[in-house]
């Protein structure tokens, strides 16, 4: 049994070829849009509908096997790095996303100044800026 099969079973999920393929794609790292995930899954399986990929991503995210992020102005992206409360830095120029380890540790790493009686369990932090490529292009344009 592969590690991915064990992972699915440990979360009470049925092992299916699309689920294994999506996990394999996400395992390659990065923050991937559904279109990109679908394209790569189709390289592994003969025919998989985009809807099937959405369904798999939903099941994996609910089970805590993948994480969905959606920076403002960008389509949803999925990654396999879960459970470590890391944050993201997003490029305003090209939309590139990189991981940023949490400087504080466990969630919620930031305490709200006012909690309004909520029990807060997560602070979703997104840093915005320009990636090295966009900075180089920008200084070349001037």
Binding-site residue numbers for Zn(2+) are: 91, 94, 131, 134
Q: Which residues are annotated as a binding site?
A: 91, 94, 131, 134
| Closest residue by beta carbon to Zn ion | 109
The one segment of 9-17, 43-51, 91-99, 111-119 that binds Zn ion by CB under 5 A = 91-99
> How many CB atoms lie under 10 A from the CB of residue 54?
14
Half-sphere exposure of 86 (CA within 13 A, CB side): 16
45/104 with CB nearer Zn ion: 104
Q: Do residues 29 and 23 lie in contact, with contact meaning Cβ atoms separated by under 8 Å?
A: no
12/132 with CB nearer Zn ion: 132
> How many CB atoms lie under 10 A from the CB of residue 75?
10
| 102 is an interface residue for Zn ion by CB under 5 A | yes
- How far apart CA 26 and CA 76 sit, in angstroms, is 14
Q: Which residues bind Zn ion (CB under 5 A)?
A: 79, 91, 93-94, 96, 99, 102, 104, 109, 131, 134
């Amino acid at each position: 049994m592969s590690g991915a099969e064990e992972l699915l079973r440990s979360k009470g999920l049925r092992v299916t070829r699309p689920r294994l393929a999506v996990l394999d794609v996400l395992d390659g790292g990065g923050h991937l849009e559904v279109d990109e995930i679908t394209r790569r899954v189709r390289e592994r399986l003969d025919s998989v509908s985009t809807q099937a990929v959405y369904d798999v991503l939903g099941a994996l995210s609910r089970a805590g096997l993948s994480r969905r992020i959606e920076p403002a102005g960008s389509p949803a992206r999925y990654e396999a790095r879960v459970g470590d409360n890391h944050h993201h830095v997003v490029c305003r120029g090209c939309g590139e996303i990189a991981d940023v380890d949490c400087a504080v540790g466990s969630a919620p790493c930031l305490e709200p100044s006012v909690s309004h009686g909520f029990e807060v369990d997560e602070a979703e932090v997104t840093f915005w800026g320009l990636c090295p490529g966009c900075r180089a292009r920008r200084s070349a344009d001037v």
